[in-house]
Structure 1
Amino acid sequence: MIRKPLATAVVVAAAFGCSFAQAATTPSIGWSQLWSTSEAGGAAEIVDVDTLTNTLWVTNPDRIDVLSVTDGSLVSSIDLSAFGTINSVSVKNGLAAVAVAAPTVTDAGTVRFFNTTTLAADGFVTVGALPDMVTFTPDGTRVLVANEGEPAGGVDPFGSVSIIDVASRSVSTASLSGVPQINGVRSATLADIEPEYIAVSADSTRAFVTLQEANAVGMLDLNSGSFTQLVGLGTKDFSQPGNAIDIYDKDGVYNPVPVNVRGLYQPDAIAAYEANGQTYFVTANEGDARADESDEARAKDVVSGLPTEYQRITVSTIDTTAGDLVAFGGRSFSIWDENGNQVFDSGNMLEIVANDLGIYDDGRSDNKGVEAEGVSLLEIDGRTIAFIGLERTTESAIAMYDITDPANASFIDMIVGANDLSPEGLKAFKMNGSYFLAVSNEVSSTTTLYALAPVPEPETWAMLVAGLGLVGAVARRRR
């Protein structure tokens, strides 16, 4: 049966001082787990869907597992261990692009292509160092690659974005050198600016690239193939109403209070969508120190004389000064306009709901909290729904928000996977008239598929079951 989010709506309404009648006006999306499968000997990280073959493509460090959407059974496994470590996969029009870091991660990596019907290799191209994320543009003509270029072994390559022409397989590189920076990009050197994740506008002309450690987003013009500017995202004030957090991890309880701490948003995943005739992008504000963690420490080791409750919080050694503690992460997700101006932030709601559901991990209170990491968007019945994956809860958790009106996004429900842990990759999609969410969970090494449907609409569930049956019938005919 589709699960209804009524109980959580009541709790959140109470927590934020609004009536249940107000909360109930938010469109509800029911959810139900269809299946979950374990990635034996691996760690499920990134997932994408191929609607042509009704399969999910799931990355593990050394292979791609191709799973049936119908029941999660293993269709095939593609071993890429000879080429390095797999970081990402993206599927479009029957073609899968797989980002593979070189065995020496500071060397140039590759993107390897596969036909999703035959599973045959379809060539490869060389890209930058440590290709961390790969995505097709909406029109399917190009593949974009975030080359993170993290330091290792005393070598620190520059980050970049590779732009691959799908038809010709030619590669161009968008460099971050000399790009104008505004709003205070957090970086000491060019090598510290490391692309993490990419979202593309609906018209395939612009890309938004998270530069996580630099607390910024790069604006990439795909017509010219170059960055136009790097926009710093600023900080979040945890002393303001609606932003209260718990910064003490040794009492075993969730106790959010306003604190004199600012948080660097430092988003990981990013997604773009259209609303009110404009492009907006959504960020999961995870937070992250540099690869060698040289810029993080306990507050007590940076500033002396702090109250006990402040001493253990992890802060940036670069940004923190006496009287101004700067931590990592926003413990939230945000919506920004196409120029990088924030129009919405979820405040502390993700942690309030996690605590209400009994899955908040107090051991993370001192360091980035629930860590919003993944994001996927899907239009359901004319509404744009955001799915936000929380990496540091005691069970897999994905928050659902209606973001149709960017400035007035509203919480819907939290999907909890009882046997899953640390959702890394999210893919919301529509197939045969029904809606689904695939989640790859890194720590539990599981991939889970959820059915989604507006509620209360009994006929929607019947349609979903019929749609899934059609998927099974197609799969049986193919076999």
Structure 2
Amino acid sequence: MKLRTLCLTSALAITASAAAADMTFNRISSFATPLNMADGEDRDRATSAEIIYATEDGMTLVYTDSPLGVIGRIDITDPAAPKPLGNVDMGGEPTSVAILGTTAFVGVNTSESYTAPSGKLVMLDALSGEVAGECDLGGQPDSVALARDGSFVTVAIENERDEDLGDGRVPQMPAGHVAILDIADGVAQCDTLIKADVTGLADIAPEDPEPEFVDVNDLGEIVLTLQENNHIVVLNKQGEVLNHFSAGSVNLELIDATDERGALNFTESQPDRLREPDSVQWIDDTHFAIANEGDMDGGSRGFTVFAKDGTEVYESGTSFEHAVIRTGHYPDKRSDAKGVEPEGMEIATFDGTPFMFLLAERASVVGVYDMTDPAAPVLKQILPSGIAPEGAVAIPSRNLLVTANEADLIEDGGVRSHVMIYDYAEGPAQYPTLTSEGADELIGWGAISGMVAGDDGMVYAINDSFFGYQPTIFTIDPSATPARITKALRITRAGMPAQKLDLEGITTDGDGGFWVASEGRTDRVIPHAIYHVNAKGEIKDEIGLPAELLAGETRFGFEGVTRVGDTLWMVVQREWGGDPADHVKLVSYNTDSGEWGAVLYPKAKPGTGWVGMSEIVAHGDFFYVIERDNQIGEAAVTKKIYRIPAADMVPAVLGGELPVVTKEEVRDLLPDLLSWNGYAVDKIEGLAITRDGTVYVSTDNDGVDDSSGETFFWSFKLD
């Protein structure tokens, strides 16, 4: 009986789209972990899905929840409609779980301190939650793995370092070890505990190994990563070392290695970057893959395949990260650290094909690789996940893949931790919806804001102030599947990248150039303004706002711009001083006469948070606007397109009484957002309408900062 499935990743060119007859993975449901909290329990407490496993029949999921000190359980009898089964208290911090039949083996950290580590292995029934026994492990556990024949369980006893002590460097005693316990009648036998000694092996801090992750092959051999020691060990079930070797290093080229500059520049390098692997999984009885997360010094941003004799079989280099970059999921704020940060991994065989599922913690994606040839992995898909995927389990018997996403942003009013479920079935890949794959250069992108349809069949989009040092106009070919970013035009001022811009709107000027609207941030000395940009990206003119408009300014300025002849119309995101409650200005500017004017728009009254405007587009006899709240997930209510009769758009003089326009709902966008079977994202930012009435809509992924990084780009036809 195979008890553990694994996941690998490699970074080769991802295909544009699967043909209808192809088998692909697509997300079919999501489960928010607060749903497992009991009635009356404080659901505002932080919760987290980290390591996850399934019962042998594939009907029940069990995940570790460190903040709550519990394991959570989910009924996936219907995987498209997962149901909560509740939490079980573990009497400590659960760190990992593996399941034999219906018996869950849970590593639980009970340490008083870093210098006095302790932990236990708890066995319980995954269905009833009834505890069957506990074994003292003699240290702080991390990863748990089962022999594939169910004969033993092994635990990496990390005895982790204190990152605030001695610059966070090893050695920090006591040393870790590997625990191995026999299993009889489905329960670990505490009196058979072997503490395998793995000291004296690594070149880095050999006296203080920090075991991170274990896995077992069909031969009963255990592969172990020593992350901070940058070392790999292979043991037998008696705890004897069969082989050990350094995880080595990688020379990284064409990466962004500079943090916090608000620009994506993949022109840098890092020589001799230590791999410092986290997860490890056997591909077969000879080969295994490691996810090179880094921790103390390293992080090579990819994965490596080794033979158990220490031979390096394959190195992904930067290819995985480059594939992530093209899907818009690159986390710029992690550039000087570990980039996309591959951490978790799962490997399993579906319909005869061995797949590796590589989890990029900071990019919040899953790379799906065909591992038929361990020396030549093939990247098949990039899947969207929740924020910070930590663990995964494959259930090939049901054609399912499941990820556990640990980030819980309750303190920031953001999305909660989620478990996400994917189905392996015939049909095209639903994600990504927008990519720069196939462009002549490596184009990094994100934080897509305003859009406009060009007369050439292209859609033009801009990024917002998240990339404030790299304002860019992106050319999107919407006829491709997925839609393709084919060109990135940098906006410049006097030959240099233009700064002090917060671009939220774009429209064409009718002469090959563009008008762009900057929302402005007075707290960051970014002016509220509109700019005329020529076809080369050069700012040719800057139009500041008149005093009558600036008198009531706030940080929530222009969120869109559209053009009708010589008149530009801009929509203000939220009320400014003097505006009636729940009304915002639609501001006009005549590019010929320089005259300003405005009307008032009646937006929805928010139930929670605020409601604001995101876009404005003139088309035919109407102006179309996006109205959205700032709520996410289950709290989202208002994500809609409305239209205003063009006859209502008669601007009045600023400073006087403004007419109020009428509006008609065109489309509720929440069902569209939920059709990708994740949670409802908050920022619907882009709207473009072609001459034939095709509407394109896009979301802003916030530069993958406290965001899953998912960008949705889709279309529909106006009635």
Task: Work out whether the TM-score is over 0.5.
Answer: yes
Q: Which has the larger radius of gyration?
A: 2
Gaps of 5+ in 2: 1-10, 35-44, 166-171, 409-416, 430-719
Q: CA deviation at 1:429?
A: 1.5
Q: In the alignment, is residue 428 of structure 1 matched against residue 394 of structure 2?
A: yes
Q: Does 1:331 align with 2:353?
A: no
Map of 1:361-400 to 2, 5 A cutoff?
Answer: 361-393=331-363, 396-400=364-368
Larger RCO: Structure 1 or Structure 2 (Cα < 8 Å, ≥ 6 residues apart)?
1
Equivalent residue for 2:401, pick from 437, 455, 458: 437
Where does residue 53 of structure 2 map in the other structure? 48
Alignment of 1:10-159 (within 5 A): 13=13, 29-40=23-34, 41=45, 42-52=47-57, 54-61=59-66, 62-69=69-76, 70=78, 71-80=81-90, 83-105=91-113, 106-152=116-162, 156-159=173-176
User: Is 1:271 aligned to 2:281, yes or no?
Assistant: yes
Q: Which residue of 2 aligns with 1:296?
A: none
2:199 and 2:366 map into 1 onto residues whose CA distance is: 36
Question: Given the alignment of the two structures, is residue 233 of structure 1 paired with residue 238 of structure 2, yes or no?
Answer: no
Q: Shift of the alpha carbon at 1:156? A: 2.2
Q: Which amino acid aligns with 1:160?
A: H
Q: Which letter maps to 1:156? A: M
Of residues 60-69 and 351-360 in structure 1, the stretch that sits farther from structure 2 once superposed is: 351-360
User: Does 2:231 correspond to 1:216?
Assistant: yes
The runs of 5 or more residues in structure 1 that have no matched partner are 1-10, 15-19, 290-315, 317-327, 458-479
CA contact under 8 A between 2:250 and 2:317: conserved in structure 1? no
Give the 3 Å change call, closer, same or farther, for CA 158–103 of structure 1 in structure 2: closer
Q: What one-letter code is carried by the residue in structure 2 that aligns with 1:234?
A: G
CA contact (8 A) 1:370 1:392 kept: yes
State the Cα distance separating 1:352 from its structure 2 match. Answer: 1.5
Q: CA deviation at 1:368?
A: 0.8
TM-fit CA distance, 1:254: 2.9
In the TM superposition, 1:254-269 aligns within 5 A as 254-257=264-267, 259=269, 261-269=271-279
**Residue 190 (structure 1) aligned to one of 207, 212, 224:** 207
Alpha-carbon distance, 1:216 to partner:
0.8
1:162 alignment counterpart: 179
**What is the SS of the residue equivalent to 1:355?**
helix
Residues 119-167 of structure 1 deviation map (CA, whole Å, 9 limit, x = unaligned): 3111010103210111111111101000001245987211101101111
- AA in 1 matched with 2:259: D
Structure 1 residues 350, 177: CA separation in 2 closer, same or farther (over 3 Å shift)? closer
Whole-Å separation in 1 of the counterparts to 2:136 and 2:158: 14
1:112 CA displacement: 0.3
> Structure 2-normalised TM-score?
0.50
> Which of 302, 314, 317 matches 1:344?
314
Task: Show structure 1 runs of 4+ deviating over 6 A.
Answer: none
The equivalent residue for 2:216 is 200
User: Match of 2:571?
Assistant: none
Greater helix content = 1
C-alpha distance in 2 between matches for 1:260 and 1:53: 43
* Residue 415 (structure 1) aligned with residue 383 (structure 2): yes
Residue deviations 1:443-475 (CA, integer Å, cap 9, x gap): 141111111235579xxxxxxxxxxxxxxxxxx
1:189 shift after superposition:
4.3
Give the secondary-structure state (helix, strand or coil) at the position aligned to 2:254.
coil
1:143–1:13 Cα change, 3 Å? closer
Question: How big is the shift at 1:108?
Answer: 2.3
With over 3 angstroms needed to count, the CA separation of the structure-2 counterparts of 1:93 and 1:149, relative to structure 1, is: same
Report the alpha carbon displacement of residue 200 of structure 1 after superposing the two structures with TM. Answer: 1.0
Residue 310 of structure 1: aligned partner: none
CA RMSD of aligned residues (A): 2.5
| Aligned mate of 1:448, from 395, 415, 420 | 420
Identity of aligned residues (%): 29
**Cα–Cα, structure 1 residues 341 and 250, in superposed 2: closer, same or farther, change >3 Å?**
same
TM-score by length of structure 1 reads: 0.74
SS at 1:408 equivalent = coil
* Alpha-carbon distance between aligned partners in 2 of 1:260 and 1:415, rounded to the nearest angstrom: 27
Are the equivalent residues in 2 in contact too, given 1:53–1:116 (CA < 8 A)? no
Matched residue count? 380
d(CA) in 2 for partners of 1:270, 1:177: 19
Whole-Å separation in 1 of the counterparts to 2:64 and 2:271: 37
State whether residues 12 and 320 of structure 2, in contact with CA within 8 Å, keep that contact through their aligned partners in structure 1. no
Secondary structure of 1:113's match?
strand
The alignment partner of 2:323 has SS state of helix
Q: Give the match's secondary structure for 1:161.
A: strand
Matches within 5 A, 1:171-190: 171-178=193-200, 181=201, 185-190=202-207
Is the 1:376–1:426 contact (alpha carbons within 8 Å) kept by the matching residues of 2?
Answer: yes
